[in-house]
Chains A and B, each alone.
Chain A
Amino acid sequence: MKPQIAEPDQISSAREQSGGELSLRGVSHSYGELVSLDRIDLEVSAGRVVGLVGPSGCGKSTLLELICGLREPSGGAISVAGSSDARERLARCAYMPQRDLLLPWYSAIDNAALALRNQGMRREAARTAARDLFERFGLGGFETSRPAELSGGMRQRVAFLRTLIAGKPVLALDEPFAALDAITRAEMQEWLATALRTDPRTVVLVTHDVEEALYLCDRVAVLSSRPGRIVAELGAAARRAEDRDAAVTDPAFVAAREEALRALREGSR
């Protein structure tokens, strides 16, 4: 077991109620002959944000799908909040795909409320619940906009709220900001940091952006190229500090980033 890192106060309260701890033991996965993931061990306690970084094709998206119960591993065991059954995992994880995949036939608010509708809530009640989140997360006034009328950053916010509103203890985010320009991406990282401060969850964040991982996560696992193995684990470097710009230029952060990049380079060989 890795040594536990001290928790900030605001997270520890969420830990007790959420029950979103993750445990991966010797998890492997292969597509036919092709081994995509090789004996992954990962422990994440509830309310923590863990990052998975690695080169393209190292199996990080596959790992996310395994955790969410969208796939079954070829070997090893995955448990989410104590259950390793795929259906139970699916019930406890909300998955946010790489592209926003907002449904063009629904308004922004109906897109965000999708999970509530699926869970059987009536349309008006679901909208009321989503409207509250829109206000809190800077989307007020865009409720009735069609996805095509929103900017890339706005679309990602709606997609994130759609994931959050499902009310699941674990959020699985697959490169949520990869398609955005650098400025919008930095804004979105700050926005996500704020969102997670007010509504903490266990988060598995897949990204190829080392800085993003180190800023947003409590812990970062570096994966090697295929077959994906965890080659390094780094502790918190900025832990969603309110002032992102100051956090990422801090010498300790820069050093952590260099260390992560070095691990990434070595793992890609």
Chain B
Amino acid sequence: MKRWALPALLLAALLSLWQIAASTGALENALNLQSFLVPSPAEVAESLWDNRSLLAENAWVTLREMFFGILAAIIVGVGFAVLMHRWRVMRDAAYPLIVASQTIPIVVISPILVTWFGYGITPKVVIIALVCFFPLTINALDGLRAVEPEAVKMMRSLDASRWQLFRRVEAPTALPHVFTGAKIAVVIAPIGAVFAEWAGSSAGLGHLIQSDTANFEVARQFATVAVLSGMALALMGLTVLAERRVVGWR
């Protein structure tokens, strides 16, 4: 049996349950709501098809935000990790602040960033990067520190410069850890994207969900969530493919 067969089976079972509960009217009775507020999976699928060009347009906007946000997070996160690894004083000074920065709710910071950077793509990229850089920094730092002291001694004795030690030993050791961080980052990036769009935007899947909330377009909201999840899973898949190519020795 294929690796995806079991989760697919479970998903089908859950959707069937939902379908039965919605189409028999059991769900709307239990929630005491009108039926258009409690769409069945079939209605969500129908909405997905009917709104395909609208969803595609907005998905493209969100995908771009996520791409640049994750890219910024990788550059900043790995850069921080390298600096903190290289200079002990940097780590001692910055590490507690980086951890503390994660306790600031992104919902609070998003409107401020929109005030500062406007309604364009910039605040979205910044917010997504803020959400994603933490797992990247922490994992990259752990990876750099995973180098065995004996290997460092061996390299020093074989005339390696600081840069050669980094390039030939530390960076390859850290790389699998960076991919672990990237896999977490691509999965949480949509959360950042939605909050960023809620704080102020004119397009994107988050924006669509927000306006549909006001218009009770529940079926399309579910359809939008499905697209968002699909995008996160696709990014995850791409990351895993890249990992297999780059970290081929594992």
Give me the interface of A with B, judged by CB distance under 8 Å: 65, 68, 70, 90-91, 93-99, 101, 103-105, 114-115, 117-119, 146, 148, 162-163, 166, 172
Contact = CB atoms under 8 A, between A and B. Distances in A.
Interface stretch (B26-34, B93-101, B107-115, B150-158): B150-158
A193 to B, nearest CB: 23
B16 interface: no
A166 B168 contact: no
A101 B158 contact: no
Contacts of B164: 117-118
A70 B158 CA distance: 12
The interface residues of chain A, by DSSP majority, are classed as mixed
Contact of A114 (B153, B158, B172): B158
Closest 3 pairs between A and B when the two form their complex, measured CB to CB? A95-B157, A115-B158, A97-B150
Interface of B: 148, 150-151, 153-161, 164, 168-169, 172, 249-250
A70 B159 contact: no
A115 B159 contact: yes
B150 A103 contact: no
Nearest to A89: B157
Contacts of A95: 153-154, 157-158
B168 A103 contact: yes
Contacts, number: 59
Contact of B150 (A94, A98, A115): A98
B154 A91 contact: no
A146 B247 CA distance: 13
Nearest to B158: A115
Contacts of B249: 104-105, 146, 148
Nearest to B250: A104
A118 B157 contact: no
A119 B157 CA distance: 11
A90 B161 CA distance: 12
A70 B150 contact: no
B148 A118 contact: no
Contact of B168 (A65, A68, A97, A114): A114
B153 A166 contact: no
15 contacts: A68-B153, A70-B156, A90-B157, A99-B150, A103-B168, A105-B172, A105-B249, A115-B158, A115-B159, A117-B168, A118-B155, A118-B164, A146-B249, A162-B158, A163-B158
Contacts of B250: 104
Contacts of A98: 150
A105 B150 CA distance: 17
B160 to A, nearest CB: 5
Given A103-B168, A118-B164, A97 B158 contact: no
Nearest to B175: A105
B160 A118 contact: yes
Nearest to B159: A118
A118 B148 CA distance: 19
Nearest to B246: A105
Given A99-B150, A104-B249, A146-B249, A119 B159 contact: yes
A157 B156 CA distance: 20
B36 to A, nearest CB: 57
Contact of B158 (A105, A118, A146, A148): A118
Nearest to A120: B159
Contacts of A94: 157-158
Nearest to A100: B154
A176 to B, nearest CB: 12
A178 to B, nearest CB: 13
Contacts of B159: 91, 115, 118-119, 166
A145 B154 CA distance: 21
Contacts of B157: 68, 70, 90, 93-95, 166, 172
A101 B160 contact: no
Contacts of B154: 95-97, 101
Given A68-B153, A101-B154, 9 more contacts: A70-B157, A98-B150, A101-B148, A104-B249, A105-B249, A117-B164, A162-B158, A166-B158, A166-B159
A117 B161 CA distance: 11
Nearest to B153: A70
Contacts of A117: 164, 168
A98 B153 CA distance: 12
A31 to B, nearest CB: 14
A68 to B, nearest CB: 6
